[in-house]
Structure 1
Amino acid sequence: MQTTQFNKKNRRGEKTAGSHTDKSKKKFIFETSSLKRWHIIVSLFILVIIFTLFSAFVSGLSLHFNPVLPTWGTEEKNEFSTIYPSDNDSGQLSSFSEDESHKKFLENRIVNKDDFYAFYVNWDKNSERSLKNNIDQIDVLVPQWFSLNSNLELKSSVQKDIEDFAKKHHTKVLPLLTNESNGKWDEQTVHRLLQSPQEQSKLIHNLHHQIKENGYDGVNIDFENIKSSDRELLTDFMKKLYTAFHEDGLMVTMDVPPANKAFDYSGLEQYNDRMILMMYDEHFQSPGPIASFSWYQNNLSKSLKDKMIVSLGNYGYDWNEKSKQGGEVVSFEDVMRMAQKAHLNVEWDDESKTPYVNYKDGTGRMSYGFWTA
């Protein structure tokens, strides 16, 4: 008697012969119980890996012993292509007469101290690179981190990474307070500050708080373009600042230009631990050396020596002879890069003992570039 089974999972009720299921199972076309095919695949894969590693090794050796690289079909863009040497020579520049000041300079006995001060600015990557390359030579870092705005408020632009870097190398930090605004020295802001004892007290309090809170060693004051009528008021302000800071053992330093009637050097020396003499910017409105040798000696021989730190500028100016505007500040690296790219000769002015370059651009404009040596 024949029996028929129905699969309960088959919704259509189609019958399936349960007794014949195993016998009717089919094998795939390429199915085999042998491992020969698998061994071939593995062997091929290993050969590919060996070949790849060998090729990389040979390529590395060829680059090391004979580094021939492919030549790309591109041209370097030269932004100085419109600049070319000028026909002018140093004889057409203004002359710089020497006096007998070098004799006084040599006669003065100047005590040489080992403290090395370095200025730092946030906006110039060259400044950061120079700082990191020379940190072991720097005793005191003066970063331009504070400014006085037109509302007589203290603005801060502290760089925490630079602060930590200096402290890690046991370098003293004296943040600089400036009256510079939008690239210009704001003499009116300082004038208003010096006219208001209340605003002075507020500024000194806020500045003192910032210095203490951040663990700095003191402060550097850089007020420039001061009115000569504010001479005594400036000294009085420094006295207040000096008193407040010295109560907590904090240093007070000040940047001063040479031979400037707005600065009472003898009075200011009493209220500063160091006076940083800015020995640069002999010329900036018209072409000329940043600090000629005779100018340098003359001003240094007349300056106070006890608390003096001599500050040198490593930069220059680019002047347009047809413009009434002052020169544009350029870094030493930028000058040398332009000279190389435009094939300009770096000349030496023996009168001032400083280097310079003369050139013309595509519009026929004559420019001079002097910088400190």
Structure 2
Amino acid sequence: MRFARSRRVLLPLIAALTFGAGSLPTAPDAASAASSLPFDDISASYAKDDITALAAKGIVGGTGERLYEPGKPVTRAEFAAVLIRLFGLEETNNAIASFRDAKPSDWFYGAVQAASNLELVAGTSATAFQPKASITREQAAVILARGLGLSANGTSAVRFPDVGSISDYAKASVQAASQAGLLKGDGNGNFRPTAILTRAEIAVVFHRILQTADWESRFGATASAMPQLGWQYQQTLAEYKASISRSSVNTLVPRVFFLDSASAITDNTDSALLSWANTSGKQVWGMFGNRFDADRTHAMLSSQANRQKIVSQAAALVVKHGMDGLNLDFENVYGEDRDSMTLFVEELAAALHKSGAVLSVNVSPDLGTDWTEAFQYEAIGESADYVVLMAYDEHWGGSPVAGSVSSLPWLKSGLNTLLREVPAEKTIVALPLYTRDWTIEPAVSSTELEIGEQNELIRSLASASKAWDSSVGQYVFAYAKGQTTHRIWTEESRSLTAKVRESLKLGAAGFAYWYISADSADVWPSIRNAIKYESFGFD
């Protein structure tokens, strides 16, 4: 089965969070729904219809039993929560908090983190969000312009008499939001940039957004089902099933086929996994690896007879087990085998296609080294259905220099290079669910950490310093242990969100995850949010 690029509609919006300070929202109960209005204190409000419409969709809630308090100021946290609900996104309980004043125990934590991951909101400083501070009209304009991809049109600029009181950072956003009809001037034409938004005003603004057909249809739609691969590694079937069930993975990649000799393949397929995948609606692309054995791989590739035997066996195994495809993972291949490797991929793809099976080929970023010399990316892209870019190991275990496993600029560079030779619709980006704990002094060395292990280590480091490094798109933790100095370039919800978004902007057709058991639970809603938000098509 191939992955179509159609759009499917309407996902339910997630439940509303409170506008009351520090407590959960109260949605109208059955009795309230039966009454003419959802709240008792909005009948005289100019925003009555807007509040009613948004309450019906679960985008706003009350502050108490049948109370909305339309004149009450809106906090920065509440604004972020409403924005997330408007977009139909999930809250994300990040293992690493973006701000020191937004804690996991706070009702707004998941909403603020989700908005922060997507860069819809920013802090008032590098470490503070001020979630309980009232939001001003110019601050709201900045968030709306950023979230909706609005830009000011200079030919139809709105002239506010009080333009001089608008902060420089907000002027373009105020223009864009006013031109879009979301935030307007008062009776005197003034914008009132530092005035506080009320709960009535926010209902009017967000209802205006929903009354724009294009925006409403984008929020209600979800991205098409793209391939999302999860490699099985050092897990039992039960463990793998549990990991898959909490993830966004729709394509299982068990590591089952290996080059046993120049003319034979070992088969470790678990029929129970195939049965579970079938009942769960998951595809299975069995991984076929060469165990990094360059000599054995050369003996197979350089012999036409051996190559044909392996192609026939691989295709037959896929048919035998009723798999949907094959994931080819040949690494450490001699550069002299470049032509025969290309021919092997072509022959394997042709054999698999006869039974309707898919071929995906794993490749490393082309850095012009002998590690990738055997891979003709363009030719492989012509034959295979998908090319999987393994966008990790920028700094590997034996690296003489400490650094990120996968920094955002490095990933973008590798993907851009690949896209010059492979069509975007055939490109899958493989993301790391691991990082490294680096010893910087007295000598450089490192220990691999799964994301879950990383999070546990960080929680235990009371004296560690943390800073978001926008140049790499990651938090960097620094700590001392005895006489050694350590650094961790983290992988977590925020960094992975950035990688997913940038990959989609460049046209990636899907994602893969190495490896599926190394995750933490907050990663998956963050990835789903990134995919859905990018499907809106905002620039």
Contact 2:391/2:432 (<8 A) preserved? yes
What letter is aligned with 1:172? Q
Structure 2 CA distance for partners of 1:132 and 1:113, relative to 1, 3 Å: closer
Contact 2:465/2:479 (<8 A) preserved? no
Residue in structure 2 matched with residue 236 of structure 1 by the alignment: 343
**Is 2:266 the partner of 1:146?**
no
What is the Cα deviation at residue 248 of structure 1?
A: 1.7
Contact 1:235/1:264 (<8 A) preserved? yes
What letter is aligned with 1:244? A
Residue in structure 2 matched with residue 164 of structure 1 by the alignment: 275
Q: 1:352 aligns with which of 472, 476, 500?
A: 472
Structure 2 CA distance for partners of 1:369 and 1:189, relative to 1, 3 Å: farther
Per-residue deviation, residues 120-177 of structure 1 (Å, max 9, x unmatched): 224047754320223xx43322222222246664223323333222111121110111
Contact 1:149/1:155 (<8 A) preserved? yes
Structure 2 CA distance for partners of 1:270 and 1:123, relative to 1, 3 Å: same
Structure 2 CA distance for partners of 1:195 and 1:349, relative to 1, 3 Å: same
**Is 2:436 the partner of 1:317?**
yes
Q: 1:133 aligns with which of 218, 226, 246?
A: 246
Contact 2:262/2:297 (<8 A) preserved? no
Residue in structure 2 matched with residue 214 of structure 1 by the alignment: 321
Structure 2 CA distance for partners of 1:352 and 1:122, relative to 1, 3 Å: closer
Residue in structure 1 matched with residue 298 of structure 2 by the alignment: 191
Structure 2 CA distance for partners of 1:151 and 1:194, relative to 1, 3 Å: closer
Contact 2:230/2:249 (<8 A) preserved? no
Residue in structure 2 matched with residue 281 of structure 1 by the alignment: 393
Residue in structure 2 matched with residue 97 of structure 1 by the alignment: none
Q: CA RMSD in A?
A: 2.6
Structure 2 CA distance for partners of 1:361 and 1:195, relative to 1, 3 Å: farther
Residue in structure 2 matched with residue 332 of structure 1 by the alignment: 451
What is the Cα deviation at residue 323 of structure 1?
A: 9.4
Q: Distance in 1 between matches of 2:240 and 2:481?
A: 29
**Is 2:384 the partner of 1:272?**
yes
Residue in structure 2 matched with residue 51 of structure 1 by the alignment: none
Q: Distance in 2 between matches of 1:208 and 1:326?
A: 42
Contact 1:120/1:131 (<8 A) preserved? no
What is the Cα deviation at residue 252 of structure 1?
A: 1.0
**Is 2:314 the partner of 1:203?**
no
SS at structure 2 position matched to 1:225: coil
Per-residue deviation, residues 224-272 of structure 1 (Å, max 9, x unmatched): 2222222211101111111211122211111111224432111111210
Q: Distance in 2 between matches of 1:152 and 1:358?
A: 50
SS at structure 1 position matched to 2:254: strand
Structure 2 CA distance for partners of 1:323 and 1:199, relative to 1, 3 Å: farther
SS at structure 2 position matched to 1:204: helix
Per-residue deviation, residues 58-87 of structure 1 (Å, max 9, x unmatched): xxxxxxxxxxxxxxxxxxxxxxxxxxxxxx
What is the Cα deviation at residue 356 of structure 1?
A: 3.4
Structure 2 CA distance for partners of 1:322 and 1:164, relative to 1, 3 Å: farther
Per-residue deviation, residues 183-231 of structure 1 (Å, max 9, x unmatched): xx33333222212222222222222222111111111101122222222
Q: 1:115 aligns with which of 221, 226, 240?
A: 226
Single out whichever of 317-326 and 280-289 deviates more from structure 2. 317-326
What is the Cα deviation at residue 337 of structure 1?
A: 0.7
Q: Distance in 1 between matches of 2:277 and 2:446?
A: 33
TM-score, structure 2 as length reference:
0.44
What is the Cα deviation at residue 316 of structure 1?
A: 0.8
Q: How many pairs does the alignment contain?
A: 255
What is the Cα deviation at residue 360 of structure 1?
A: 4.2
SS at structure 2 position matched to 1:282: coil
Residue in structure 2 matched with residue 35 of structure 1 by the alignment: none
Report % sequence identity: 23
Q: 1:178 aligns with which of 267, 284, 289?
A: 289
User: Unaligned 5+ residue runs, structure 1?
Assistant: 1-111
What letter is aligned with 2:295? Q
What letter is aligned with 1:308? T
Aligned runs of 1:76-115 on 2, under 5 Å?
A: 114-115=225-226
Structure 2 CA distance for partners of 1:308 and 1:265, relative to 1, 3 Å: same
SS at structure 2 position matched to 1:176: strand
Contact 2:363/2:387 (<8 A) preserved? yes
SS at structure 2 position matched to 1:175: strand
Q: 1:299 aligns with which of 409, 414, 418?
A: 414
Structure 2 CA distance for partners of 1:160 and 1:345, relative to 1, 3 Å: farther
- Computing the radius of gyration from Cα coordinates, the structure with the larger value is 1
Q: Distance in 1 between matches of 2:266 and 2:414?
A: 33
Q: Distance in 1 between matches of 2:322 and 2:437?
A: 39
Per-residue deviation, residues 304-357 of structure 1 (Å, max 9, x unmatched): 213111221111123344798974432100011112124344443332111233
Q: Distance in 2 between matches of 1:329 and 1:347?
A: 21
Q: Distance in 1 between matches of 2:437 and 2:241?
A: 23
What letter is aligned with 1:275? V
